[in-house]
């Protein structure tokens, strides 16, 4: 093993120690599966009640009903990633970190690797939790992963959350401020995108925003009308991945130059 490889592993280990020693880490991360599971159950219960009473607003899409809750449940994960990356700048500990690891590319790569190592398992647990809770809420209308499109939707939900976490980390590394980053991300992900994505005419552009593109993977039926997309589910994931990659590259440039 080369010295460079050992150095990178040491930086990742150090970043993971930082994450474990932050007091709010466990509580903030725990909110992601808890909030998502709660929303999954409520949405499933609402759909169950509507279908049992013979009321249907449209075709039953089990993927959408099951995983829609992650679009709100992702808030704690985004907030955690922003505070994790931005906290060093607001507290001034970034100076000590860069003194310990002068190679800024190595420092940044280790931090992002640590972020990914946290984001993926949290996303995996969240996906499992919301799937189970939604099926409990759906009652007799529940589905399994063997149902057409559900396995893809489950994998996509996990990837969506992981990529959203990396996007949040990259944006924060670029802006170097938790407050400004949240001011950009929250409207982008939860106000502008959700609202503009449903507006006729504007949705032609809004469909390429990160959450609008990435969330297409959770649907098991084709979208129609104003909700229709000009690309497929996996292309949507690729668009979200491109957003995340662009944010991470911008973060690297900012870390090296500032």
The per-residue pLDDT for range 124-147, each reduced to its tens digit, is 999 999 999 999 999 999 999 999
Do 78 and 185 form a contact (C-beta atoms < 8 A)? yes
Of the pLDDT bands very low, low, confident and very high (cuts 50, 70, 90), residue 219 is: very high
Number of CB atoms found within 10 A of residue 237's CB: 20
Domain boundaries, the chain: 3-257
Q: Write out the DSSP string of 38-77.
A: HHHHHHHHHHHHHHHTT--SS---HHHHHHTTHHHHTHHH
Q: How far apart are CA 10 and CA 21, in angstroms?
A: 17
Q: Which pLDDT tens digit goes with each residue over 12-37?
A: 999 998 888 876 677 888 899 999 99
pLDDT at residue 195, rounded to an integer: 60
Mean pLDDT of the chain: 88
């Amino acid at each position: 093993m080369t010295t460079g490889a050992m150095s990178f592993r040491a930086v990742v280990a150090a970043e993971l120690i930082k994450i474990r020693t932050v007091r709010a880490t466990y509580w903030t991360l725990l909110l992601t599966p808890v909030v998502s599971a709660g929303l999954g159950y409520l949405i499933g219960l609402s759909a169950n009640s509507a279908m049992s009473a013979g009321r249907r607003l449209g075709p039953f899409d089990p993927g959408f009903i099951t995983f829609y809750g992650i679009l709100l449940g992702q808030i704690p994960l985004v907030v955690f990633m922003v505070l994790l990356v931005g906290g060093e700048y607001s507290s001034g500990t970034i100076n000590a970190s860069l003194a310990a690891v002068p190679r800024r590319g190595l420092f940044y790569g280790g931090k992002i690797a640590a972020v990914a190592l946290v984001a993926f398992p949290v996303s995996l647990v969240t996906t499992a939790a919301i799937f189970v809770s939604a099926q409990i809420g759906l009652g007799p209308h529940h589905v399994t992963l063997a149902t057409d499109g559900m396995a893809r939707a489950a994998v996509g939900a996990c990837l969506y959350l992981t990529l959203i976490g990396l996007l949040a980390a990259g944006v924060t590394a670029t802006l170097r401020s938790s407050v400004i980053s949240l001011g950009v991300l929250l409207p982008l992900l939860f106000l502008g995108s959700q609202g503009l994505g449903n507006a006729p005419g504007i949705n032609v552009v809004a469909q390429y925003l990160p959450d609008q593109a990435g969330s297409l993977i959770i649907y098991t039926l084709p979208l129609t009308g104003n909700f229709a997309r000009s690309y497929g589910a996996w292309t949507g994931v690729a668009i979200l991945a491109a957003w995340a990659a662009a944010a991470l590259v911008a973060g690297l440039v900012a870390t090296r130059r500032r």
